[in-house]
Amino acid sequence: MKNLEQYIKDNRDQMELEVPNPENWSNIEAALNKKKSRRLWVYWSAAASLVIIAGVLVLLPNYMPMTSSNKIINKGSDSQYASESLEIIENPEQFSKLRYVEPIEPNNQEITKVEKITMVQESERESDLTTETKIDSKEDQLAEAETYIALVDSSPNFIMDSVTVAYTLDSRYEFETTVGMADKTLYGYSSNGSYDLQGTVDGAKAGTWSVSSQGIGLAIVENESYFAMDEKVRKSNKGADVLFEYDENLKGEDYNSIKENDFKVVLSEPVSTFSIDVDGASYTNVRRHINDGSMPPKDAVRIEELINYFQYDLPEPKDDIPFSITTELGDCPWNKKHKLVQISLKGKSIEKAQLPKNNLVFLIDVSGSMSSGDKLDLLKKGFRMLTNELREEDRVSIVVYAGAAGLVLEPTAGNDKPKIMEALDRLEAGGSTAGGEGIELAYKTALENFSKKGNNRIILATDGDFNVGMSDQDELIELIEEKRKSGIFLSVLGFGTGNIQDGTMEQIADNGNGNYNYIDNVLEAKKVLVTEMGGTLQTIAKDVKLQLEFNPLVVSSYRLIGYENRLLAREDFDDDTKDAGELGSGHTITALYELVPTGTEGSLNQSELKYTVPTPTYDTTYSNEVLTVKFRYKPPKEDKSKLIQAVVKNNPKSSPSLNYTMATSVAEFGMLLRDSKYKGESSYSHALELANKAKGEDKNGYRSEYIRMVEKAKLISGKE
C-alpha cells in the first residue's frame, strides 16, 4: 500500500499529462480587461492650468528576419585578443533581431498623448495601494491649488517609468509617466506651505537643484528652459514663483552633472546602447586638480575619458572593417561576485604620408579671460608644434574671436610656416567673447577651402567662456549641429584653469562631430596636437555606436562604467540621423561593463519596463554566450551606416591581459574619485597594484605618470 502512494508521489511531475484548452487565455484576458477599471487614474485634461505633455511610447524597432548572407570573418584569428567571430551584417538598414530574448511586439506604435497620471500614495502603515477616498481628497486639494511647479527632465536617456518625488511630508507621491518619453518628462511639483521639494534632475544642465515653493499644486508644463543655470529665481508660465537654489560651489568651473549608470536588469533591459567617446579631457583636468593638491570635483571625473586617455595594445583591423574589435571577460577587482567585460576598438592606423590633405581652421579665443596665466601662451606653443607637422598640401587659416570675430590668417599652405607662426605670434588677448560669431566665421572659412577628399576641420581653442552674443549653450549647439552636415569636423581644445566651461566645450565637440581635449601644459599640447594628430585629425569612422545585448542565461544585470553622457536610446542605434562619436586613425576606445552573473544572490534590484516584459523563452543554444555586441559606423564621407557584430563567449581568460589590467585600474581609480556607490572594495592601493602590473614598456611615460598621480591622490584623500 505504501508503495503505490510513494510511487505516485515520486512521479507526480510525470503525471501532468493533460494540456489545458488553448482558448482559456483569451477568456481570461477578456475577463481581466473588464476588471481593469479598478485602477486609480486621475484625469487632468479638464484642468485649465495644465499643459499636457506629449510623449511617445517606446517604439521598439520593427523586427525583421536577418538575411542569411551575413559574412563571418576573423574566425580563428591569430591574435590572442581578437573576438572569436566577427560578423558583417549585409543589410545594416534592417533592424536586427534580438539574439537571446524573443522580441516583444510593440503594443502601440502611435504617438500618444499622455493624459493621465497615476497617483500612488504610499503610506508607511500599509503597503497596499491607497484607497479611492484618499485620492479623491488629494484631488480636491489639487483643484484648489493656485501655484504650480514642474521640473522637467530633459535627459534623452530617461527611460524610467516612474518618478518618485520625496519631500518633507511623511508620505511620498509617485508619478507614473509613459515609458520613453524622450526629452519631456515630468519631474516634480510643489507642495503646501514651506515644504521643501527636492530631487536630482537626471541630465539637467547643472549640479543638483533644490526647489521650494508656496501653495499646493501639481502641474505638468512643457519642457522649456526652466533650468537656466544663471538665474536664481524663475517664473514659470503658470505664475508660480519657483526658487531654484543654485549650488554656489559649481560657479566658475562648470561641470555637467553626471549621474552614474546604475545596474540594469537584463530581462527588462536586455540591450545597452552608447556612442564611443575619444575625449581625454577629463583625465588632464583630474591630473591638474591632483597636482594642485586637491581632489577633483566629482562631476569633473568622466571615467570613460580616464580610461581612453591611454593607448592600449590592440591588433590592427583586418578586412574591410576600419577598426578591430577586442573583447575580454574577467574578474571584477572591486566586487568578487561580479565580472567585467572589456570591449576595445582600434581604428586603422594611417601613415601620415598617406593622410589626406588637411584643411584646418584654427578658431582661437583671444578674449580677456585668455590673457590670464598661461592660456594664450600655451595655445600658441601648441599650434606652433602642430604647424611644424604640416605639409605643403595642407591649408591653415586662423580665425580669432573676442569682441568681434575676424580672420587673421588667410588660408595658407602648410609649408609656409613662417607666415603661420607670425600670425600666431601676433595674437593678443582682449575683449569679451563672441564665440558664436567666431564659429560662424570659421565654418565659412573652412567651407571656402573645402577639400572633398581631405580632412576639413576646425580646431577651436578656448577656455570656453562664451559670454557675448550667442551665449546660450543650446543655441550654440544648434548652430554646430547644423554646420556638422557640411562635412566639417570640429575639435575643441580647452585651455587654462579656473574658467573652464567643461560641459559647454564637450557638448560643442560632440555636436560638431569632433573631440574635446583639455590642455594644461606643453607636454599635453604635444600629446594632443602632435602625437595624436594622426588620429585626432583623421577620422576613419564616424557616428560609431555600440549596442550590447546581454544573455539572461549568463548575465542577470549589467552596468556600463562611464559613458554617462554618451548613452543612446535603444532605437537610436538603428537611426542613422542620430549623431555619435568619431573614431580616428590609430585611436583606441575601451568600454567596461560590470556584470552580475545570473544566479548571484540579491542581484535583482532595479526598475523595469512597465509596458513590455520580455518573453523569457530564451534560446539555450546560446548558453555559452555572455553577450553580443553590435557596432554601427559610417565611413567618414557617407551617410549610411554599416553594421557588424561580435559575440563574447563565456570563457574568462586565465590571466588578464595588460590592457584589461590597466583599464580596470583606471576604472577603479575613477570610481574612487567619483565616490561611486558601486566602488565596492576599490582602493587606491589596489588601483596602484594593478597599474604597476600593467605598466609594460610605457614608452611615453603616461602610465608612470598615472601611477604617480594615483599615489598623490591617495595621500591627498588620506584613504587607502
Partner 1 sequence: MQLEELLIKQCKKNDPKAQKELYLRYSKAMYNICSRMLADQEKANDILQEAFIAVFSKIDQFKGGSFAAWIKRIVINKCVNEIKKNSRVSWENIDDHPVEEVSNDHEEQLNVDFAVINDCIKQLPDGCRMVFILKVMEDYNHSDISEELKISESTSKSQLARAKQLLRISLSKSMVA
Q: Which of 12/125 has CB closer to partner 1?
A: 12
Span near partner 1 by CB under 8 A; candidates 311-319, 320-328, 464-472, 602-610: 602-610
Q: Which of 302/570 has CB closer to partner 1?
A: 570
Q: Taking CB under 8 A as the rule, does residue 353 contact partner 1? A: no
Span near partner 1 by CB under 8 A; candidates 216-224, 366-374, 559-567, 612-620: 612-620
Residue 360 CA from chain centroid, whole number: 28
Q: Which of 54, 523, 604, 658 binds partner 1 (CB under 8 A)?
A: 604
User: What's the rounded Cα separation, in Å, for the pair 456 and 487?
Assistant: 7
User: What's the rounded Cα separation, in Å, for the pair 556 and 268?
Assistant: 10
- Per the rule left: phi > 0, alpha: psi between -120 and 50, beta: everything else, 481 is alpha
Q: How far is the CB of 107 from partner 1 (least distance, A)?
A: 8
The binding track of 28-57 with respect to partner 1, each residue x by CB under 8 A or -, is xx-xx--xx--x------------------
Long-range contact list for 260-263, CB < 8 A, 24+ apart?
A: 260/564, 260/674, 260/676, 260/677, 260/678, 261/559, 261/560, 261/561, 261/562, 261/563, 261/564, 261/567, 262/559, 262/606, 263/557, 263/558, 263/559, 263/594, 263/596, 263/603, 263/605, 263/606, 263/678
Q: How far is the CB of 155 from partner 1 (least distance, A)?
A: 23
Q: How far is the CB of 484 from partner 1 (least distance, A)?
A: 40
Three-state secondary-structure class, residue 658: helix
Q: Taking CB under 8 A as the rule, does residue 194 contact partner 1? A: no
Please name the helix (run of DSSP H) or strand (run of DSSP E) that holds residue 717, with its range, or none.
helix 702-717
User: What's the rounded Cα separation, in Å, for the pair 259 and 676?
Assistant: 10
Q: Which of 271/492 has CB closer to partner 1?
A: 271
Q: How far is the CB of 259 from partner 1 (least distance, A)?
A: 24
Q: Which of 39/232 has CB closer to partner 1?
A: 39
Q: How far is the CB of 14 from partner 1 (least distance, A)?
A: 6
216: cell is: 499646493
Specify the amino acid at residue 134: K
Q: Which of 88, 181, 265, 644 binds partner 1 (CB under 8 A)?
A: 265
Q: How far is the CB of 267 from partner 1 (least distance, A)?
A: 6
Comparing CA positions, the residue from 585, 591, 462, 586 lying closest to residue 518 is 462
Q: Which of 7/450 has CB closer to partner 1?
A: 7
Q: How far is the CB of 609 from partner 1 (least distance, A)?
A: 8
Q: How far is the CB of 356 from partner 1 (least distance, A)?
A: 52
Q: Which of 78/110 has CB closer to partner 1?
A: 110
Q: Which of 17/48 has CB closer to partner 1?
A: 17
Q: Which of 11/577 has CB closer to partner 1?
A: 11
- How many residues lie near partner 1 (CB under 8 A)? 46
Answer whether 470's CB lies under 8 Å from 479's CB. yes
Comparing CA positions, the residue from 147, 185, 141, 130 lying closest to residue 163 is 185
User: What's the rounded Cα separation, in Å, for the pair 304 and 589?
Assistant: 9
Q: Helix-strand-coil percent breakdown of the chain, rounded to 5? A: 30, 25, 50
Q: Taking CB under 8 A as the rule, does residue 547 contact partner 1? A: no
Q: Which of 185, 504, 556, 588 binds partner 1 (CB under 8 A)?
A: 556
Comparing CA positions, the residue from 200, 206, 208, 252 lying closest to residue 229 is 206
Span near partner 1 by CB under 8 A; candidates 18-26, 532-540, 628-636, 685-693: 18-26
Answer whether 285's CB lies under 8 Å from 300's CB. yes
From residue 275, alpha-carbon distances to 572, 574, 578, 581, 645 in Å are 10, 12, 10, 6, 15
Q: Taking CB under 8 A as the rule, does residue 268 contact partner 1? A: yes
275: cell is: 556612442
Span near partner 1 by CB under 8 A; candidates 245-253, 265-273, 316-324, 355-363: 265-273
Q: Which of 20, 76, 418, 718 binds partner 1 (CB under 8 A)?
A: 20
Q: Taking CB under 8 A as the rule, does residue 126 contact partner 1? A: no
Comparing CA positions, the residue from 398, 386, 401 lying closest to residue 525 is 386
Q: Which of 91, 141, 168, 615 binds partner 1 (CB under 8 A)?
A: 615
536: cell is: 585626432
Q: How far is the CB of 630 from partner 1 (least distance, A)?
A: 25
Q: Taking CB under 8 A as the rule, does residue 124 contact partner 1? A: no
112: cell is: 500618444
Span near partner 1 by CB under 8 A; candidates 140-148, 244-252, 559-567, 605-613: 605-613
Q: Any idea what DSSP says for residue 693?
A: H
User: What's the rounded Cα separation, in Å, for the pair 691 and 333?
Assistant: 12
User: What's the rounded Cα separation, in Å, for the pair 490 and 483?
Assistant: 10
Q: Which of 40, 66, 129, 385 binds partner 1 (CB under 8 A)?
A: 129
715: cell is: 595621500
Q: Taking CB under 8 A as the rule, does residue 171 contact partner 1? A: no
Q: Taking CB under 8 A as the rule, does residue 367 contact partner 1? A: no
Radius of gyration in angstroms for the set of CA atoms belonging to the chain, rounded to a whole number: 28
- Length of the chain (residues): 720
Q: Taking CB under 8 A as the rule, does residue 337 contact partner 1? A: no
Q: Taking CB under 8 A as the rule, does residue 72 contact partner 1? A: no
Comparing CA positions, the residue from 569, 564, 435, 430 lying closest to residue 490 is 435
Q: Taking CB under 8 A as the rule, does residue 612 contact partner 1? A: yes
Q: How far is the CB of 627 from partner 1 (least distance, A)?
A: 18
Report the 3 state secondary structure along 499-547: CCCHHHHHHHHHHCCCCEEEECCHHHHHHHHHHCHHHHHCEEEEEEEEE
Q: Taking CB under 8 A as the rule, does residue 8 contact partner 1? A: yes
Span near partner 1 by CB under 8 A; candidates 23-31, 229-237, 469-477, 695-703: 23-31
Q: At what angle do helices 502-511 and 281-291 cross, to 10 degrees?
A: 160
Q: Taking CB under 8 A as the rule, does residue 116 contact partner 1? A: no
Q: Taking CB under 8 A as the rule, does residue 610 contact partner 1? A: yes
Q: Which of 112/291 has CB closer to partner 1?
A: 112
Q: Which of 498, 616, 696, 701 binds partner 1 (CB under 8 A)?
A: 616
**Residue owning grid cell 509613459:** 178
Specify the amino acid at residue 555: V
Q: Taking CB under 8 A as the rule, does residue 262 contact partner 1? A: no
Task: Quickly list H helices, 68-131.
Answer: none
Q: Which of 610/695 has CB closer to partner 1?
A: 610
The binding track of 558-597 with respect to partner 1, each residue x by CB under 8 A or -, is ----------------------------------------
Comparing CA positions, the residue from 157, 25, 159, 61 lying closest to residue 611 is 159
Q: Taking CB under 8 A as the rule, does residue 620 contact partner 1? A: no
User: What's the rounded Cα separation, in Å, for the pair 232 and 206?
Assistant: 13
Contacts of 14 (CB under 8 A, 6+ apart): none
Q: How far is the CB of 48 from partner 1 (least distance, A)?
A: 31
Answer whether 555's CB lies under 8 Å from 598's CB. yes
Q: Taking CB under 8 A as the rule, does residue 667 contact partner 1? A: no
Q: Taking CB under 8 A as the rule, does residue 125 contact partner 1? A: no
User: What's the rounded Cα separation, in Å, for the pair 687 and 200?
Assistant: 30
Q: Taking CB under 8 A as the rule, does residue 108 contact partner 1? A: no
Q: Which residues here bind partner 1, judged by CB under 8 A? A: 1, 3-5, 7-9, 11-12, 14-21, 24-25, 27-29, 31-32, 35-36, 39, 104, 107, 128-129, 265, 267-268, 552, 556, 598, 603-604, 608, 610-613, 615-616
